[in-house]
């Protein structure tokens, strides 16, 4: 799933994260997830609530213990590295969260929240000022904003600062978990443009988690669509979005209201049927009970993620490797 011309920054191999559930049952939050994030790119994870997006980000940063499989960061298997030895690895990773108001200590001025990590990591005051000044430029904020408390800034301003703070120590990898979901649409666009500018300027590598297909299409180089703990469709964003194949991905896309689509009289794909949970994962394809194109085999055998064209994989019995499609 990686762009072979560039080195991989971080990858997961057959990653599983199971949580114990009541009555001796198991919740399979991640079930055999393999993705590779190429250095200097933004990799999008998209899917409905509860499909395992945040769990994937946390496992990649080892903020959650891994049940099975591995995480390889800069060529090193960090899956079972003891917490003490993770300290140095974690200094190369950063996270940006959904709610910028809870990302900053409300009692501290922004300047302190930005300067303190630099001081702790041995940056001189001059280096710190230079670095902060440079980043402020990219996020279009001035020194004045640094002298304020978090509640004196807007959500958009704070999220720009949270992204700048994540970049202060030049991390190798950033997980941004729904960084624009809590903001209104006009502000979302600003933040996305800031992320794209910073990617360009700093060759930033990011896992961008979202439930919004259009945002992912706009900002990500690669994408993986998740359903109930597994990847159902993945690849190069431009290739995947030109030819969405998995019935679940198509339904996610068609759920987005658009003036153009209404003009063309496009139909929304409404998913019906029972929504299985990650506790009682059904046999066969996890999506079968909601799938408008379900076949007999789908209820019996779990489909494997196969390459159907260059830069495009899909896990669906209708799309065997090589792209010969089975008609409904
Ligand atoms: N610490 C935990 N203990 C038990 N179950 C958990 C834990 N964290 C997550 N889960 C479960 O794992 C599944 C995946 O959760 P996760 O938070 O990764 O989903 P998500 O895709 O990020 O959803 P959202 O879009 O709502 O943020 C869910 O069923 C959730 O209830
Ligand atoms: Mg989440």
* 46: nearest Cα among 168, 181, 188, 155: 181
Hey, what are 9's tokens?
């920054």
| pTM score, whole prediction | 0.93
* Nearest ligand to the C-alpha atom of residue 177: 2
Please tell me the predicted confidence (pLDDT) of residue 267. 67
Please give the pLDDT value at position 264.
Answer: 57
Which residue's CA is minimally distant from atom 2 of ligand 1? Answer: 19
Helix or strand (DSSP H, E) at 99: none
Would you state the structure tokens that stand for residue 85, as one six-digit string?
A: 């030895």
Instruction: With respect to residue 90, please indicate whether it lies within any of the assigned structural domains.
Output: no
User: CB of 254 within 8 A of CB of 265?
Assistant: no
| Residues near ligand 1 (Cβ within 6 A) | 19, 27, 29, 47, 49-55, 211, 278
Instruction: Kindly report the length of the chain.
Output: 328
The predicted structure's pLDDT at residue 261: 52
Phi, psi of 9 (to 5 degrees): -85, -50
Structural domain tally of the chain?
Answer: 1
Mutation choice for ligand 1 from 12, 17, 48, 55, CB with most ligand atoms inside 8 A: 55
What pLDDT sits at residue 265? Answer: 56
Asked, for residue 275, whether it belongs to a domain, the answer is: no
Per-block average pLDDT, block size 10, for the chain (328 residues)?
A: 74 97 92 97 96 96 96 96 91 93 94 95 94 92 93 94 93 95 88 93 95 95 97 98 96 74 62 78 91 94 95 94 60
Within-domain flag for 239:
no
The CA-based diameter of the chain, rounded to the nearest angstrom, is: 67
Q: Which atom of ligand 1 is nearest to the CA of 226?
A: 21
Query: Does residue 218 belong to any structural domain of this protein?
Result: no
Residue 15 placed within a domain:
no
Protein residue closest via CA to atom 9 of ligand 1 = 55
In our burial notation (b when 16+ CB lie closer than 10 A, e otherwise), range 291-306 reads: bebbeeebeeebbebe
For residue 37, is it within any domain?
no
* pLDDT for the residue numbered 258: 60
Q: Whose CA is nearest to atom 19 of ligand 1?
A: 50
Q: What is the DSSP letter of 3?
A: -
Please give the distance, rounded to the nearest whole angstrom, from the Cα atom of residue 127 to the centre of ligand 1: 39
Encoded tokens for 325: 């499609």
Q: What pLDDT shows up at residue 323?
A: 58
Residue-number span of the structural domain to which 115 is assigned: 101-170
| Residue 326 contacts residue 241 (beta carbons within 8 Å) | no
List CB contacts of 72: < 8 A, sequence separation 6 or more. 8, 10, 11, 12, 13, 78
Whole-number Å distance, alpha carbon 281 to ligand 1 midpoint, is: 15
Residue with the nearest Cα to atom 5 of ligand 1?
A: 19
Is residue 53 in some structural domain?
no
In a domain, 89, yes or no: no
Q: Which pLDDT score, from 0 to 100, does residue 4 have? A: 56
């Amino acid at each position: 799933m990686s762009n072979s011309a560039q080195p991989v920054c971080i990858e997961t191999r057959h990653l599983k994260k199971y949580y114990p559930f009541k009555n001796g049952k198991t919740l399979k939050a991640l079930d055999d997830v393999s993705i590779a994030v190429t250095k200097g790119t933004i990799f999008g994870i998209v899917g409905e609530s509860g499909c395992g997006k945040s769990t994937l980000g946390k496992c990649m940063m080892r903020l959650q213990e891994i049940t099975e499989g591995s995480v390889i960061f800069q060529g090193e298997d960090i899956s079972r590295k003891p917490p003490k030895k993770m300290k140095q690895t974690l200094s190369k990773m950063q996270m940006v969260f959904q709610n910028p108001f809870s990302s900053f200590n409300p009692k501290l001025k922004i300047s302190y929240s930005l300067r303190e990590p630099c001081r702790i990591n041995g940056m001189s005051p001059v280096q710190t000022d230079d670095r902060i000044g440079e980043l402020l430029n990219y996020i279009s904020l001035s020194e004045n904003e640094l002298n304020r408390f978090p509640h004196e800034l807007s959500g958009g301003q704070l999220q720009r600062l949270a992204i700048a703070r994540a970049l202060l120590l030049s991390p190798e990898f950033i997980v941004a978990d729904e960084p624009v979901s809590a903001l209104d649409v006009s502000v979302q666009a600003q933040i996305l443009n800031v992320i794209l500018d910073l990617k360009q300027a700093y060759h930033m590598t990011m896992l961008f988690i979202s439930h919004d297909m259009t945002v992912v299409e706009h900002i990500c180089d690669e994408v993986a669509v998740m359903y109930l703990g597994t990847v159902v469709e993945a690849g190069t964003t431009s290739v995947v979005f030109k030819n969405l194949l998995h019935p679940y991905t198509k339904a996610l896309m068609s759920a987005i209201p658009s003036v153009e689509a209404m003009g063309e009289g496009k139909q929304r794909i409404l998913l019906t049927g029972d929504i299985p949970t990650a506790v009682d994962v059904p046999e066969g394809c996890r999506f079968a009970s909601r799938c408008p194109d379900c076949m007999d085999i789908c209820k019996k055998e779990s489909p494997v993620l196969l390459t159907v064209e260059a830069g495009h994989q899909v896990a669906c019995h209708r799309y065997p490797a090589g792209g010969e499609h089975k008609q409904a």
